[in-house]
Amino acid sequence: MSLKRLRNTIFFLISVTMLFPLPGFGGIDRTDVNPTGDTVYTFPFHMDNKLLVFEGEINGVPTLFAFDTGAGMGLAGEGFKADGRFSGNAGKIKMRDSNNKVQKVKMAKSKRFKIGGFEFEDIKSLVVDMPFLSCMDYYLLGADVIRQLNWEIDFDKMLVRVSRSPFSLTENGLTFPVEFIGNRPHAKLSFSGNEFEKVLVDFGYTQILNFPMDFDEKSDFIEQKEADQKINPYMGFSMGALSTATNLTYAIILDSLQVGEQMVYGIPADFEENTTEKIGIKFFSTLSSRTILNNTEGIFHLALRPQEVVFESPTHMNFNFQDGKIVLAGKPLGRVPQDAMLELGEEIVELNGKQASDFGDFCSFISWLSQLGSAEIKIKKMDGRELFFEKTPLK
């Protein structure tokens, strides 16, 4: 094996196996020129904690970017001022997080961003100490920068390609137009006679599809699914930039979903209180081997996998770390008998063999939990009872 190929193999293995990438993760893996003469940069990414993360630079400092088309502008914590990545103040602005909390927050400036070989100057960012991002030392890369490039995301090879010119589309893929509102892409979706004109394409949303529960005022979709016993209720936990929330959610499999002018089948969707319509990164990573975001043309494209895809079955369990304790933050409702033996907010003595004392702080807990993902869950309660929750296919 050549030295160059060995180096690239090592970088790839690091990107998919380590939660905290070693210094040098990413960089430019390859530089090409496309048929139009424009430069294309290729570099690795990982999804160890469900977000798409790659390395770039802010003011010359290596930075891990978390790719989020659903954010109008970028975001990071106060720590980015200390190391020079935020170099100036830029006033304040009102922001709304994913839980619909509105708050005025500070903004900061950065002189230069670098993604691949492309540079962007005088970028403004929101300054918010979102716990998860601060723990990972991530910069949430927003649509203000993302929209300036075209992106080809290879989920099988874990590589991103970026260019100023659009990428070629495959013949047998799923193609749909997007409308940009405040730099954020929106698509048209419909199912069972229900049409949604402006569904946010949100790569920062780590699930598949999300719709507000009250959309159903003029149709009987949820009522009919409930009559057919095809509703999977749970209490979902959401950690936004400004707040956390626990909401009643119905997980329902859509028999068919129209995206643009094309149909896909058997797609799980969440219907939730206090939310807006969005399509998340798991939709793209599950259905496609490669996804193309041709922002300059307003066209998105999925190179569909040739085999029938199976979406991962959930446990719908979630946890938080508060005051040095592991607490239950989300759970299924009525799917298995042990659901009734747990109360939201109760302290958990042991979670998959780990006790609260095994974690030094919130960051060490959330790092471990993000790798746990949708694994089977074993809980030890304060009274000594042990409960086991398996991945359960949706009805």
Question: Along the 395 residues of the chain, how does pLDDT read in single tens digits?
Answer: 333 333 343 333 323 222 333 334 555 677 887 777 789 999 999 998 899 999 999 999 999 999 999 999 999 999 999 999 998 788 998 888 888 888 999 999 999 999 999 999 999 999 999 988 999 999 999 999 999 999 999 999 999 999 999 999 998 899 999 999 999 999 999 999 899 999 999 999 999 999 998 876 656 888 889 899 999 999 998 888 888 888 999 999 999 999 988 999 999 999 998 888 999 999 999 999 999 999 999 999 999 998 888 898 888 899 999 999 999 999 999 878 888 999 999 999 999 999 999 998 999 998 898 877 667 899 999 999 999 988 888 88
CATH code reported for the domain at 3-150: 2.40.70.10
* Alpha carbons 110 and 85: distance in angstroms, whole number: 6
CA nearest to 191, candidates 266, 141, 134, 123: 266
- This prediction has a pTM of 0.89
Give 350's contacts (C-beta < 8 A, 6+ positions apart). 378, 379, 380
User: Tokens 């979670």 identify what position?
Assistant: 351
Q: What residue ranges of the chain are covered by domains with CATH 2.40.70.10?
A: 3-150, 174-304
CATH for the 318-389 domain, from 2.60.40, 3.40.50, 2.30.42, 3.30.70: 2.30.42
Q: What is the separation of C-alpha 59 from the centre of its chain, rounded to a whole number of angstroms?
A: 25
174-304 classified as CATH 1.10.357.10: no
Longest dimension (CA), the chain: 68
Q: Which positions ≥6 away from 232 have C-beta within 8 Å?
A: 250, 251, 252, 316, 332, 335, 394, 395
- Tell me the one-letter amino acid at 213: M
